[in-house]
Amino acid sequence: MIENQFYIGKGDRTTFFEVVLNSDPTKIKFLAQKLLLVTNNTEFEGKKIYNDKLCNNLNLNQQLVYKLWLHCVRRHKTITLDEMIKFAPYMEERILLWDKYVDEEGRTTRNMQEYMAYRKQKAEEANRNQKKKKAAKGKKGKL
């Protein structure tokens, strides 16, 4: 990667993810380790992987993590759930939710009754938080 100028800020990391998403991940050897290298490490054998100072190598957006999870964990089963959580530890809660409720096609059809109860609970929490914000805003205006 270093010798082929992977790190010069040409968007090659995104290209790497696109290659993974558009190919059969079972044919990519050591895929979990490669994903970890691209996202979690800034150096490899003493050489910097990224030369781009603006590159945030730690966090990926939720949509990309979801696509990688769906393609590599759910559909092709090349990466385990634990490896995916190591790849994106900041998304652990979401990954566990996807694993619980999302099927191979990307639809939330697994454990449907439990999923609907979860959504109802989250909607109630959001409603309570919104009421708290409104009440706090009303108190501010009266002072």
Beta bridge partners of 43: 48
Query: φ and ψ at 47, to 5 degrees?
Result: -110, 140
Q: 30: phi > 0 → left, psi -120 to 50 → alpha, else beta; which?
A: left
| Cβ-contact 15, 5 below 8 angstroms | no
pLDDT at 69 over 60: yes
pLDDT band at residue 6 using 50, 70 and 90 as cut-offs: very low
pTM for this structure? 0.74
| Cβ-contact 56, 90 below 8 angstroms | no
Q: What is the mean pLDDT of residues 117-138?
A: 92
| Tokens encoding 84 | 């995916």
pLDDT at 138 over 90: no
Question: Where along the chain do its domains lie?
Answer: 1-104, 111-143
pLDDT at 50 over 70: no
Instruction: Considering only residues 107 and 43, tell me which one the structure prediction assigns the higher pLDDT.
Output: 107
In the prediction, which pLDDT does 51 show?
Answer: 59
Q: 107: phi > 0 → left, psi -120 to 50 → alpha, else beta; which?
A: beta
